[in-house]
Structure 1
Amino acid sequence: MRTRPRRNDGQLVTDSPDERAVMPFIMRRRTESTVYFEQLVDVGAAQDWVGRWNAAGGPRLSLFVLVLHELAGMLHTRPRMNRFVSGRRLYQRDGVHLSFGAMKEFADNAPLEMIKRRFEPGESLATVIRDLDTAIHEARAGGVAEVDKELKLFLALPAPLLDVAVSLFHWLDARGVLPSALTRSDPLYSSAVVSNLGSLKTDAAFHHLYEHGNCPLFLVVGRVRPTPVADDDGQILVRPMLPLRWTFDERIEDGLYAARSAELLRSRLEEPVRSFGLPEDAVRRECGRTGTRQAT
């Protein structure tokens, strides 16, 4: 069975340079194609913008949700970062899908619920906040997610049959014929997985990529720390810096395009007024004059 030019989650890329088209045959696994890099983002302006948005009556915004919104915007603006490799072929993903985890409670043995959401181009910040707020509340309410139901079915098999079933799953996926019902809710079939370690008061780590699924990007968001930095005049200032640590499958795009894409995200986070205008104006525009508050 040959690789199909179209899958349920993407379209085969037919105009990539020869050196990129051959890369999945040379570097056959995602783990051997991994590149790690780090950014430090000055979030002083973003923290002020978020505080003013919340004070103006907008739905409760956090720095992490702002990162998600701006990451989705970057992937729409830089579509070659929204590609993936499957079956030794490069595909353009249909839509921007981000996955992230939400713990049901802050305890050592608390389960982690993964949330996957499609982000539309030009989607308003207020819409994203409300949808994510609803998704997080549902995940913490104790219901069984669709992906967990699928896992329970697989785990009910004896180990030898489970091994065969997983191998068949990956064989069908590589050829683009795996039913979408098996991947629709899977967080590893997404544009990027984003981990918010800052909410746990933990420093960011570099995360590995997974052979399962087709996600080529993993972004770990750390905690904001006061950090000495040099300004353009060489003066040392202490600024609130947010570490972003990326893990990237280099088979999807070259390093220059990836670096410029990450730089675009950094600039959007450092200058939120350029993207949204003044927070008070943004609340009036997106929520009406008085805004609406929601719990988180």
Structure 2
Amino acid sequence: MRRRFGDRKDGKRIRKGDPFFKIIPYIMKDRNDAQVFFDDRIYLENSEKMSRELRKQGYKVGFLHFVLAAMVRTMSQKPKINRFVAGRKLYARNDISFSIAIKKDMNEETPETTIKISFDGTETIYEVMERLNDEINKNKNLDTENDTDKAAKIITYAPGFLIRFVMWMFNALDNKGWLPKFLTDLSPFHSSVFVTDLGSLGIKSVYHHIYNFGTNTIFIGFGIKDKEQKFDRHGNFKNKKVMDLKVVVDERVVDGYYFAQAIKLFKKTIENPEVLLTPPDEVIIDNDI
């Protein structure tokens, strides 16, 4: 679909739909005014079984791959959660993108970096594994700085008052949709979902706030695996491996019922990941643009 007046480089203006959602950004001006917190428990039996099968085939795969692949599939079917608010206006994002903070090495002195990956909604678990692993491998080297790291370093050379001015200017330009594309491409704050994997740090999942700067609408956190004791349908007592997910969303983009249905689909997809072996039958387009 071609770009129309009022669209941004990274999203198309929402022109139809519930008029209430055109008013909400004037009531709740910042994302931290509009945060809603979800949590859910994921049963890992099927995803762990698939992980073992994929590893036998030589793939390097972990729970993070399933989170990304399941969210790509969810957004391909529930596109309205892939919206964002900028300058009090609502937009449908042009791609499905993830920002992920990674530690170059498990050491207190080792720096952290952020990677960013984009998808179009047609991807299977195989494409997600390939792109994520490639991006992690490129950024794990201690001597490597990606473009985001370099840009941040350049900004920090300036005195504090100038950094405040630069960030104010970036925010003002972004609200108008005038922030240069090379900056939004670099920025981890301009993506569909920010993901934090705390399992590698050995702690449980936490709720993480979404940022006022940028266009992130969803933040997903998960941590170490746990066990839940419960009876199965035959009355037998079993230990089941589980993972607790914490999700923070910007409620201004779509109503709670739609968000709830999307989270249910996300959970169902991770728990039944065989659907990720093949592309979706179709990628649904936001019908309010």
C-alpha change, 1:235 and 1:17, in structure 2 (3 Å) is farther
After superposition, residues 16-31 of structure 1 pair within 5 angstroms as: 16-31=17-32
Hey, what's the Cα distance between the residues in 1 that align with 2:130 and 2:242? 27
For the pair 1:45 / 2:49, whether they are aligned, the reply is no
Moved more, 267-276 or 69-78: 267-276
Q: Map 1:88-107 onto structure 2 (within 5 A).
A: 88-107=88-107
Unaligned runs of 5+ in 1: 278-285, 287-296
Bigger mean CA offset, 122-131 vs 99-108: 122-131
Structure 2 match to 1:71: 71
Instruction: Please give the root-mean-square deviation of Cα atoms over the aligned residues, in Å.
Output: 1.8
Conserved? CA contact 1:38–1:243, under 8 Å = yes
1:244-274: CA deviations, max 9, x gaps?
1000100011111111111111111111234
Q: Contact 2:220 / 2:247 at 8 angstroms: preserved in 1?
A: yes
The question of 1:239 aligning with 2:255 is answered no
Deviation at 1:231? 4.4
Identity %: 26
Which residue pairs with 1:143 in the alignment?
A: 144
Aligned partners of 2:231, 2:207: CA distance in 1, in Å? 25
The whole-number CA distance in structure 1 between the counterparts of 2:231 and 2:27 is 42
Q: Does 19-28 or 268-277 show the bigger shift?
A: 268-277
Give the drift of 1:131.
2.0
TM-score normalised over the length of structure 1? 0.88
Residue 176 (structure 1) aligns with: 177
Partner of 2:8: 7
Q: Which amino acid aligns with 1:117?
A: I
Give the 5 Å matches for 1:183-222.
Answer: 183-222=184-223
Shift of 1:228: 2.0
Deviation at 1:109, TM superposition (A): 2.3
Amino acid at match of 1:253: V
Name stretches of at least 5 consecutive residues in structure 2 with no aligned partner.
280-289
Aligned to 1:282: none
Which residue number in structure 2 is paired with residue 115 of structure 1? Answer: 115
Determine if contact 2:124/2:277 at 8 Å carries over to the other structure: no
Q: 1:134 Cα shift?
A: 1.7
Residue 155 (str. 1) matches residue 156 (str. 2)? yes
SS, match of residue 185 in structure 2: coil
Q: How far off its partner does 1:156 sit?
A: 1.9
The CA deviation at 1:121 is 2.1
CA distance in structure 1 between the partners assigned to 2:10 and 2:233 by the alignment: 45
How many residues are paired up? 274
2:282 corresponds to which residue? Answer: none
Task: Look up the equivalent residue of 1:16 and give its one-letter code.
Answer: G
Tell me: CA distance 1:259–1:236, structure 2 relative to 1, closer, same or farther (3 Å).
Answer: farther
The answer as to whether partners of 2:194 and 2:216 remain within 8 angstroms in 1 is: yes
CA distance in 2, matches of 1:256, 1:124: 27
Pair 1:85 & 2:112 matched: no
Q: Which amino acid aligns with 1:105?
A: D
Counterpart secondary structure, 1:138: helix
Structure 2 SS opposite 1:183: helix
Q: Which moved more, 1:117-126 or 1:241-250?
A: 117-126
Cα 1:230–1:9 change in 2 (3 A) is: farther
Larger mean CA deviation between 254-263 and 61-70 belongs to 61-70
Query: Structure 1 residues 255 and 147, CA, compared in 2 at 3 Å: closer, same or farther?
Result: same
Name the aligned partner's letter for residue 127 of structure 2. Answer: T
Kept in 2, the 8 Å contact 1:46–1:269? The answer is: yes
2:284 corresponds to which residue? none
Give the letter aligned to residue 118 of structure 2. R
Question: In 1, Cα distance between the equivalents of 2:159 and 2:276?
Answer: 53
